[in-house]
Amino acid sequence: MKCLLIIDIQNDFLPGGALAVAGGDEVVPVVNSLMPEYELVIATQDWHPADHGSFAESYDDVESFEMGKLGELDQCFWPTHCVQGAEGAEFAPDLNTGGIKMVVRKGQDRGVDSYSGFYDNGGYHSTGLTEILLRRGVTEVHIVGLALDYCVKFTALDAVKDGFKTYLIPEACRAVNVNEGDSLKAIEEMKEAGVRMKEITRPVTTTLYRPTGVNELAKVEASGWKKWPARLPEQPIFYPVTNEQYASEIASRWNTKDKTNGAIGYVTEFEVKTEFLDKYQVECVGASHHTEYWIPAEDVDEMNKNIVGMIRVIEEFR
């Protein structure tokens, strides 16, 4: 089984945060688009006490980003960040937390920093992530998040050490770059340790599904199976879904109860140019497969222009 590991996509690491990573917010839509590809998605969360020993402000004579010692370990002293219960420690507001199955918190021991999602920096304590993955039958992990040259890197190195086939998805990571070139050095270090690089292959089109009833489907047929009808005033959003299972659940459980609409539920399938959909994020509204796009009514006409091929009926429920 493959697992997507999302590393520390938290407010304090986004632009404007206490320890901002340049472009950190840019990874959020990329990570959201990846989640539906994985059966298991786990996120790590920096979760520090307010007086953590890695914070420069915990000392009278230490500046942020100064190097020194924390216990016996070399330490970069950071601005105070990701304090337990504070807004800065929360996940990015646009991150699809509904698609995350489990959260592993780290950095709770004041006396040692914890970059990796697996162990603290001294290897003194485990977060339990290895055991979680093994119990779930995971053999392969794909890593994304913040920051590439610290928490992402050390998570990837520990994943390799613990026997997992490990991939980094660079497009879904950003680096701190305290020193110029740190991100490139981190990638080379990961490669030398056996971490593989994975590129995101962008499909030309994305398959979408739409549960619908008799009345709406009649309008689609009248268009030559080429477009969806304009929304009514009480329908400000068009909701295509990302998978057939979810569309079938809606069509069979809800459309069949609507007697004014024939009490028949249909599942349709259609292709939309991925470039158009990149403007929107996938929303999770329940179980992990309850994923859909929210297309504003005023954008439906433009979406119709980006449909490739015909709208097809693939299931019918009565």
Transcribe 174-233 into DSSP letters: E---SSTTHHHHHHHHHHHHTPEE-PPPPPSEEEEEEEE-HHHHHHHHHTTSS-PPPPPT
Amino acid code (one letter) for 237: I
Cis (ω within 30 of 0) for the bond into 147? yes
8 is catalytic: yes
Label the pairing between strands 265-273 and 205-212.
antiparallel
Residue 3 and residue 38 in contact, taking contact as beta carbons nearer than 8 Å: yes
Angle among Cα 120, 123, 129 to the nearest 5 degrees reads 60
- Tokens 């392969």 locate to 140
Helix spans in the chain (H)? 27-34, 129-135, 153-161, 182-193, 214-222, 244-253, 274-277, 300-305
106 is catalytic: yes
Label the pairing between strands 2-7 and 102-106.
unpaired
E strand segments, 34-175 = 40-46, 67-70, 73-76, 102-106, 140-146, 165-174
CA distance 96 to 282: 8
Task: Determine which one of 3, 46, 106, 227 is catalytic.
Answer: 106
Please tell me whether residue 246 adopts helix, strand or coil conformation. helix
Label the pairing between strands 205-212 and 165-174.
unpaired
> What are the CA-CA distances from residue 307 to residues 4, 92, 225 (Å)?
30, 31, 10
Task: Determine which one of 82, 151, 173, 284 is catalytic.
Answer: 151
CA distance 209 to 248: 9
82 is catalytic: no
Catalytic residues: 8, 106, 151
